[in-house]
Chain A
Amino acid sequence: MTEARDLTPPGTEPAGTAPADRGSSFARLGVILLLGLVVAWFTWDAVGNLIALPELLTGLGLEQSIPWPVLVLGVAMPAVFYVAAVAIGVRLTLARLTLVLIACLAAIAATRLSLIAVATGTLMVLVL
């Protein structure tokens, strides 16, 4: 993060004269925040599952089969992945940063479906 700020020092020159391939730190922050909204939705969805699924299973009398590890992992995973991607991509050019972040979003979506598959798979095994 500091390295990116050093390369495009704010206030020394107008934003329009910043090197085109690196982009301004404002643009970087914008991309990180914009794509972060998707991460926020993934986290929100996982929190919803963490709250709703135990209620549903408790109502059905299946308290023992609540997949707690998967539910908790689902909440933590998007933020962990995204922070790692930002740490990797922040030193790169704006285009590459965007590519890394979009790839990270896709990896989050894939891992989310994997967690859902594992949770429903174990539930099916336990129920049947």
Chain B
Amino acid sequence: MPRTPPDDDAALRWDDVDDPSWVEAQSAEGRGEADADPDAHTDADADHDELHSATHEPARASLALSLVTAVGALVYLVYSIAWIVGVSSLPLNGPTLVLEVLYQFAEFLAIIASALWFVTAVMLTAGSLGRRAGWLALGTLVLLPWPFVLGVLA
């Protein structure tokens, strides 16, 4: 009886759907996703009953998260531009060289503050819609570019 030749490339392919490890990998991936955003579920508990369609809920939550992040990115980009314009309108000069350097450094920090706040908020609130929206909203209040706003109003 002729033996089937061993398939030397079998270990290099991922296409064997019938292989048990394929199924395990898929279910492990599903578990990983569920573990990744437990906060999203607790945050969404309030309207959990209305959105009870189990298959659409994770997709909807991740869409909302992406939407909040995108809107936040846009707002913080505008803030960064407003800070660049606003800082250049402030006539601050240090009386000595050391103070001048420190003042310039502080102005640089103010310009990058919006971007830093956005990156930090997004990094630390992975998978949590409520907390991300809250931190981004807080940042828009704290980092309101008053030098620009007052310059526009004046």
Task: Point out residues on A near B: beta carbons under 8 Å.
Answer: 41-42, 45, 92, 96, 99-100, 102-103, 105-118, 120-121, 124
Contact = CB atoms under 8 A, between A and B. Distances in A.
Given A102-B116, A107-B117, A109-B106, A96 B123 contact: yes
Given A99-B123, A103-B116, A110-B113, 10 more contacts: A92-B124, A106-B117, A107-B113, A111-B142, A111-B143, A113-B86, A113-B110, A113-B146, A114-B147, A117-B86
Contact of B107 (A109, A120, A121): A109
Interface in B122-154: 123-124, 139, 142-147, 150-151, 154
Contacts of B36: none
B109 A106 contact: yes
Contact of A103 (B87, B120, B144): B120
B90 A113 contact: yes
Nearest to A118: B146
Contacts of A111: 142-143
Interface of B: 83, 86-87, 90, 92, 102, 106-107, 109-110, 112-114, 116-117, 119-120, 123-124, 139, 142-147, 150-151, 154
A114 B145 contact: yes
B90 A110 contact: no
Chain B contact residues, majority secondary structure? helix
Give the interface SS of chain A, mostly helix, strand, loop or mixed.
helix
B61 to A, nearest CB: 24
A54 to B, nearest CB: 18
Contacts of A117: 86, 90, 146-147, 150-151
Contact of A113 (B107, B119, B154): B107
B109 A105 contact: yes
